[in-house]
Amino acid sequence: MRQKKQGADGEKKTSLPGSSEVAGAHWLTERKCPECGKSFCVVDMEAWAYKSKEKALCSWHCMRAVEKRQAEKAVKRRIGSVERVQLTKEQVQEMTAMAEQGKGWAEIGRAFGVNAQLVRYHVQKAKVK
């Protein structure tokens, strides 16, 4: 089953005449990247792609770094002591393969007799390496 992708590219954002240029430099805000400390300018915070929560970051690279850290922190909080359960590399590989086949975390967890959050944690951790 194929679906034609539409909307994302087909639709144009409504923009005011002339707004494509940096008219009014007053909405140019200089910010400091909380990740690397570099100064950069945000023309339009709404349209700024590199942000994490309400903080603007200078680049995709920094955004990824922050997101990765936050995701790891969040998962650690959630699974707590479960994290200490050790899985072999082979188990993680198998879990990853199952996830790629579209199996849910809970289903994979049941197959291995572990917590679904743990499965997710290890599969995602393996992926970012």
Residue 35 binds Zn ion, judged by CB under 5 A? yes
Q: At what angle do helices 89-100 and 105-112 cross, to 10 degrees?
A: 140
**Residue from 42, 56, 58, 63 that binds Zn ion (CB under 5 A)?**
58
Nearer to Zn ion, 35 or 109 (CB): 35
Rounded Cα gap, residues 17 and 71, in angstroms: 40
Q: Decide: is 36 part of the binding site for Zn ion (CB under 5 A).
A: yes
Give yes or no for residue 108 binding Zn ion (CB under 5 A).
Answer: no
**Cβ nearer to Zn ion, comparing 64 with 103:** 64
Provide, rounded to whole angstroms, the least separation between the CB of residue 33 and Zn ion. 3
Q: Which is nearer to Zn ion, 5 or 53 (CB)?
A: 53
State the sign of the Cα–Cα–Cα–Cα dihedral 86, 92, 94, 97: positive
**What is d(CA 23, CA 6) in angstroms, rounded to the nearest whole number?**
31
In 3-state terms, what secondary structure has residue 117? helix
Largest CA-CA distance found in the chain, in angstroms, rounded? 59
Q: Which is nearer to Zn ion, 50 or 121 (CB)?
A: 50
- Does position 56 interact with Zn ion (CB under 5 A)? The reply is no
Q: Is 42 in the site for Zn ion (CB under 5 A)?
A: no
Q: Which residue has the tokens 């995701």?
A: 71
**Of 26-34, 47-55, 79-87, 93-101: span binding Zn ion (CB under 5 A):** 26-34
